[in-house]
Amino acid sequence: MDMADNLHDEIRLFGIGGSPGICIGKAYIVDKEGVDIVSRYAIEKKDLKDEVKRFKAAVKRSKDDLLAIIDNTPDTLKQHAYVFETHLQLIKDKMLYGLTIDTIEKERVNAEWAFKKTISHIKAMFQDISDPYLRERAEDIVQVGDRIMRNLTGATRVNLADITARVILVARDLSPAETSQINLKRVKGFVTDRGGKTSHTSIIARSMEIPAVLGLEKATRTIKNDDLIIVDGLSGIVIINPTEATLLEFTERDQNYAAHRTVFIRDSHLAAVTLDKVELKILGNIEKPDETKSAISYGADGIGLYRTEFQYMRRPSFPTETELFTHYKETVEALAPKPVTIRTLDINGDKAIDGNNNNNREENPALGLRAIRYCLKKPEIFKTQLRAILRAAAYGDLRVLFPMISGYVEVMEAKALLYKVADELEAEGIPHNRDIKIGIMIEVPSAVFLAETLAEEVDFFSIGTNDLIQYSMAIDRNNKEVMYLYQPMHPSILRMLKHVTDVGRKTGTTICICGEMAGDPFYVPVLLGLGFQELSLPPQSIPPVKSLLRALNAAEARSFVDELMVYKSAPEIVKALISRYGGILDDNAYLEAEANS
């Protein structure tokens, strides 16, 4: 964060672009009075029952609050009602509830202090998880905790639905429930100290198409009520007290973005065909069946990544075969005849429903028993999912994708289980389709170098660049101290991507990319030049990526990628990319975001 000495000088804060778009307006600080400051005091033994009752009453009020919010959720956000259901489940969570009561009784302390201690304990457990989406579920814990704490302390908070002025909200955090109550006629956008791109709040903000920047850390301490601010959700920048020149610059950016977006969405149903007639399939990444509507409306050619692990989270038991089958069938039928790629359970012992068992916790889950390793160690859990997948495959073009493959043996063991399940279904007379396409995730360096061998056993590769970069560069991409090493354009990453796509061309294996790179227009010329046949990305990113591909020449992009292979560093490659394609990319926000990363 750059801050001038004069409080009236322009100040720029850099965070995470949670939802694209640009807005300019006055700041409106959302307070959390009384929630964060909690004192500890002793409770007499004779009063412990009353203290427990007080806590239970606060939990009951919090539950009633959420039920009311669910009942009043606007139709446009009904698809995200599951977020509020998740918070309801957290309120009922045995650890959250039981541990607080145990602390009250054993330590003889007030409910506020006991509850704060419980929240801190659970949040710490979640933060040990390396996966960014699952790690940010700690924010759900905090948000539920804030709601219960407000009911315990009697603290009040601004009702966002009652705001009458045209403002930009500034808060330490906004829960999904609070975000859903935003009046779009009044609130232009919001910024928060906490949260990230995969937080539920961010997901809802994107659905509402409201600009948001999250993870600013010190926004509430820097921005004051009625300050004029600019929120750029494209590049993750918030500007306080902008100069006239800055105001003019970002007003023009906003107008350009709006104009481009209109064209993108209008033409999103068109195929992604380059100027020299090379067609790419642009697929959507989803987590739940109801997100298929968004993918279809934004012009997806199918689903390239259906993350299934979220059906396993925060449950008293694993989902049944019938539950899984119902979800998969719903998705396949909604997309038919377009393809749907289901990634099998990418989870480990720490992240699964048995995560409350501390004996299963690993010091480094990213390098531990996760994804295909977990599934092969737990064949009954794996077989249940495979049965559901093969049954759903009878209703459309369904493909299976095995994650975190590191070698040949894992592929053969996974396929053996798949075929065993198919034999069982056939013997039981249950409708299914065993002749489905099989793919593997390429996200471990060993799989890159075994690509030619692995291609003999599968129909397609899907490259997960998030993990591939993390494992290749030996970094925790959530660690701010080494984030500078997370470089998609690092020469080693570029060479690995080229090796895999070269193998794909040689062996006739379809190559898809489903990591964050696929959804960022900045990298699209390079992905085109590398020869990817399919890109799978968040639905909202599909229109601009399709539009950009229609403005590119594939042969020129291939030649450009060959030129990039001589460069020795990521900054050199980025500079060359901007020099060659800056005019076509045309949106300075993407270039500025890359330059600041």
Which residue in 23, 375, 512, 514 is the catalytic one? Answer: 514
Separation between Cα atoms, residue 218 and residue 193, nearest integer Å: 6
Which residue in 200, 375, 432, 512 is the catalytic one? Answer: 200
Q: Tell the residue number behind the tokens 């920048």, with chain if given.
A: 237
Start-to-end CA span in the chain (Å): 13
CA angle 263, 265, 269 (to 5 degrees): 110
Residue by residue, DSSP assigns 364-378 as -GGGSSBTHHHHHHS
Separation between Cα atoms, residue 521 and residue 292, nearest integer Å: 22
Q: Which residues contact 479 (CB under 8 A, 6 or more apart)?
A: none
200 catalytic, yes or no?
yes
Token duo for residue 476 = 């925790």
Q: Nearest CA to 587 among 108, 186, 256?
A: 256
Rg (CA), the chain: 25
The backbone torsions φ and ψ at residue 198, rounded to the nearest 5 degrees and listed phi first, read -100, 10
Separation between Cα atoms, residue 18 and residue 235, nearest integer Å: 9
Q: Is residue 192 classed as helix, strand or coil in its secondary structure?
A: strand
Q: Which residues contact 516 (CB under 8 A, 6 or more apart)?
A: 465, 466, 488
Q: Which residues contact 559 (CB under 8 A, 6 or more apart)?
A: 529
Q: Which residues contact 100 (CB under 8 A, 6 or more apart)?
A: 55, 111, 114, 115, 118
Q: Nearest CA to 515 among 536, 540, 500, 529?
A: 536
User: Beta-strand (E) ranges in 479-584?
Assistant: 510-513, 534-537
514 catalytic, yes or no?
yes
- Would you please indicate which residues are annotated as catalytic (active-site) residues? 200, 514
